[in-house]
Amino acid sequence: MNEISDRDLELSFADKLDRAARPLGWLLAVLAIVYAWTVAMAPIDSIQGPIQKILYVHPPLAYGAYLGFVVTAFGGMMYLWKDQENFDRLAIAGAEVGLLFCTLMMVTGPIWARGTWGHWWSWDPRLTVTLLLWFIYLAYLLLRAFGDAGPRTARFGAVYGIVGVLLIPLNYYVIEIFGSRSMHPENLERGSLGDGMGLPFLLGNLTLGVAFVWLLVRRWQVENLRAIAARWGRPEEDLQ
């Protein structure tokens, strides 16, 4: 008897996430179309050429990339405190979505760099910190993957999440102050925004922000469903 109502509770939460995700999904679709349009219509930068348009995508990705790990750390801390598995699922969702955004950053950055001043890579502080963040994400996900699927691994993940989230400001501070000394101090030129560039940039922030939240909610939902399936078998009714 007890088991059935627990399952219903879990399912109802997954359901709530599903319901929250739907309007977000629609909003995202609309925003994405408008965003793509404005980027296409934006004036082509005289110096950098069309590749400059990556700049409408690259910086907004940063929010998702960094916020992702904050979510992971938050979920982990709440899990340690409240001992509720749902927070751990949130942590996982945060890590995967954050890794996605971080990877996209690592891809768009060098493409832009190569297009504008010919190098794929530079040890610019921001790029370096993002690279390190990428490694932290990977390390976290590997820790989860190699551990058995139990509360101990969840706890370890939470601890590493806390260490990782502290690492972000530490790395930034360290590399800003020290890193550029011994490494090649090439500066990534952040072209100033001219006319007609403000709107796509704003939309970029908005769209990718919504994308992040939508992906996070969906991933959280999936993790919930996965846990339910693991414990009770697949639910008979299909959750759309």
Partner 1 sequence: MRDPALSRPPDTALSVRARGIEKRFGSFSALRGVDVDIPSAHLLVVLGPNGAGKSTLVRIVAGLLRPTAGTIEFGEAHPEKCRNVRGQIGFVGHATMLYPELTARENLVFAGRLHALDNPAERARELLAEEGLEAWSDRRAQTFSRGLAQRLAIARARVHDPRVLLHDEPFTGLDGAAAERLAERLERLREDGRSLVLVTHDFRQASRLGDQALLLANGRVAYRAEAPLPSASELDEISRHEAARA
Partner 2 sequence: MRVALAVLWKDLLTEWRSRDRLVAMAVFALLVVVIFHFALPEGTGRQIASNAPGLIWVAYVFTALIGLNRSFSQELENDALSGLALAPGERGWVFLGKAAANFTMIGTVQAMTAAAFGLVFDLDLGSVALELAAITALGTAGICSVGTLIAAMAVRTRFGEVLMPILLLPTLVPVIVGAVDGTEHLLETARIPFDAVQLLIVVDATYLITSFLCFEYVLDE
Q: Is 5 in the site for partner 1 (CB under 8 A)?
A: no
Alpha carbons 159 and 225: distance in angstroms, whole number: 24
DSSP SS3 for 189: coil
Contact indicator for 206, 56 with CB cutoff of 8 Å = no
Which one among 14, 67, 175, 211 touches partner 2, defined by CB under 8 A? 175
At its nearest, how many Å lie between partner 1 and the CB of residue 232?
9
Q: Is 32 in the site for partner 2 (CB under 8 A)?
A: no
Q: What is the largest CA-CA distance in the chain?
A: 70
Return the ∠ at Cα 64 (arms to 59 and 65), rounded to 5°.
80
Q: Is 138 in the site for partner 2 (CB under 8 A)?
A: yes
Q: Which of the stretches 110-118, 135-143, 148-156, 165-173 binds partner 1 when contact is defined by CB under 8 A?
A: 148-156
Nearer to partner 1 (CB atom), residue 16 or residue 152: 152
Contact indicator for 108, 61 with CB cutoff of 8 Å = yes
Residue 57 contacts by C-beta under 8 Å, 6 or more apart in sequence?
39, 104, 108, 204, 208
Q: Is 148 in the site for partner 1 (CB under 8 A)?
A: yes
Which one among 181, 184, 190, 234 touches partner 2, defined by CB under 8 A? 181
Q: Is 139 in the site for partner 1 (CB under 8 A)?
A: no
Which one among 179, 199, 206, 227 touches partner 2, defined by CB under 8 A? 179
At its nearest, how many Å lie between partner 1 and the CB of residue 149?
6
Alpha carbons 180 and 229: distance in angstroms, whole number: 50
Q: Is 170 in the site for partner 2 (CB under 8 A)?
A: yes
Residue 167's alpha-carbon distances to 70, 72, 219, in angstroms, are 11, 13, 25
Alpha carbons 89 and 51: distance in angstroms, whole number: 38
Q: Is 19 in the site for partner 1 (CB under 8 A)?
A: no
Nearer to partner 2 (CB atom), residue 41 or residue 163: 163
Which one among 16, 176, 231, 239 touches partner 1, defined by CB under 8 A? 231
Which one among 14, 17, 113, 167 touches partner 2, defined by CB under 8 A? 167
